[in-house]
Chain A
Amino acid sequence: SQTIHQWPATLVQPVGSPLSLECTVEGTSNPNLYWYRQAAGRGLQLLFYSVGIGQISSEVPQNLSASRPQDRQFILSSKKLLLSDSGFYLCAWSETFYEQYFGPGTRLTVT
């Protein structure tokens, strides 16, 4: 069966510091991968998606970036965090054009 991992689970970072969040999927090949952000009291906002290694599409211009160095690895990064980057970050994968499966999330607090 497929499993999706995210780490770290929680993170507190100062403004201006770099960020690296990692997501890996097991048990499937060539999945579509997604990064979402969920701000407090709001729905989910799609940040990036990837249909293959090195293929990244950005949905919202911002100071975040994503990379897919391996088939089942998806990384969310920032060179300098802003206060507004605080939130709950969710990684998801899909195998078909239908449902997506979500990881446990990373709670990021920028201070």
Chain B
Amino acid sequence: AQSVTQLDSHVSVSEGTPVLLRCNYSSSYSPSLFWYVQHPNKGLQLLLKYTSAATLVKGINGFEAEFKKSETSFHLTKPSAHMSDAAEYFCVVSDTGTASKLTFGTGTRLQVTL
């Protein structure tokens, strides 16, 4: 069985400072991992994905994540936060079965202050 743990339910940063959203996963197989972002009352947008290629993955809007197998982690980072980054972020692991079923973390709400 696969699972995802997002270690912080809420993170607050100042605009222009680095962002770190933490995620640990558990999977019986080589996992595919994703980060999605959701703004209020909107659908989810794919930020980036890891699918067993390069361990450092670059995504949209300046975000990146590093897959660390030894630590079973897939933390999301951004060097400098922008006000528009305020949203809910979901770490997700995929079961590569017949139909890719995603297991979602409980989400981290990112607040960006002036």
Contact = CB atoms under 8 A, between A and B. Distances in A.
Contacts of B99: 32, 34, 49-51, 57, 94, 97
Interface residues of B, number: 24
A101 B34 CA distance: 12
B45 to A, nearest CB: 7
B46 A104 contact: no
A46 B98 CA distance: 15
A102 B100 contact: no
B42 A98 contact: no
B100 A97 contact: yes
A100 interface: yes
A105 B104 contact: no
A51 B42 contact: no
Contact of B90 (A32, A43, A101): A43
B105 to A, nearest CB: 6
B94 A98 contact: yes
Contact of A99 (B34, B43, B90, B106): B34
Interface of A: 6, 32, 34, 42-44, 46, 49-51, 57, 88, 90, 92, 94, 96-105, 107
Interface of B: 32, 34, 36, 41-46, 49, 51, 90, 94, 96-102, 104-107
A104 B42 contact: yes
B43 A102 contact: yes
A32 B94 CA distance: 14
A98 B48 CA distance: 12
Contacts of B36: 102
B59 to A, nearest CB: 11
Contacts of B106: 42-43
A101 B96 CA distance: 16
A100 B102 contact: yes
Contact of A97 (B43, B94, B105): B94
